[in-house]
């Protein structure tokens, strides 16, 4: 069974900083099925990155995704106040269906 582990659980940074969030899979997964979502407090998740590295419509270029195999990264350069949120990674497995990581909370330091 594929498990996605996100780290860190909480990341404390300041506006203007660079954030690096990790999503590690327990076995190799396809880049095309690795997705990142942002969830602001009290809101539904929002699609950020699909196919490991493609930005969704309307997502600023300070957000970027990278990685392959078992290790994937979401990078946010020059943090804006609205970027402080919870970030979820997601993968599709043909046996299990959709799998989510437990989330990383990005909080203001």
Contacts with another protein, residue ranges (CB under 8 A): 32-33, 35, 37, 44-47, 50-51, 56-57, 88, 90, 92, 96-103
Nearer to another protein by Cβ, of 37 and 84: the residue is 37
Adjacent-strand bridge partners of 28: none
Nearer to another protein, 17 or 92 (CB): 92
In terms of Cα–Cα distance, which of 90, 80, 76 is closest to 21?
76
Least distance to another protein, CB of residue 16, Å: 28
The rounded distance, in Å, linking the Cα atoms of 49 and 55 is: 5
Residue (46 or 62) nearer to another protein, CB? 46
Determine contact, residues 106/84, Cβ cutoff 8 Å. Answer: yes
d(CA 105, CA 108): 10
- Shortest Å, Cβ 9 to another protein: 11
């Amino acid at each position: 069974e594929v498990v996605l582990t996100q780290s860190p659980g909480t990341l404390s940074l300041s506006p203007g900083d660079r954030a690096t969030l990790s999503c590690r899979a327990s076995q190799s997964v396809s880049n095309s099925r690795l997705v990142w979502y942002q969830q602001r407090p009290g809101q539904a998740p929002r699609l950020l990155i699909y196919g490991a590295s493609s930005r969704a419509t309307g997502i600023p270029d300070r957000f970027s995704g990278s990685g392959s195999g078992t290790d994937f990264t979401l990078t946010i350069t020059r943090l804006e106040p609205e970027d402080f949120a919870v970030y979820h990674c997601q993968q599709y497995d043909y046996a299990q269906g959709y799998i989510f990581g437990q989330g990383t909370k990005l909080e203001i330091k």
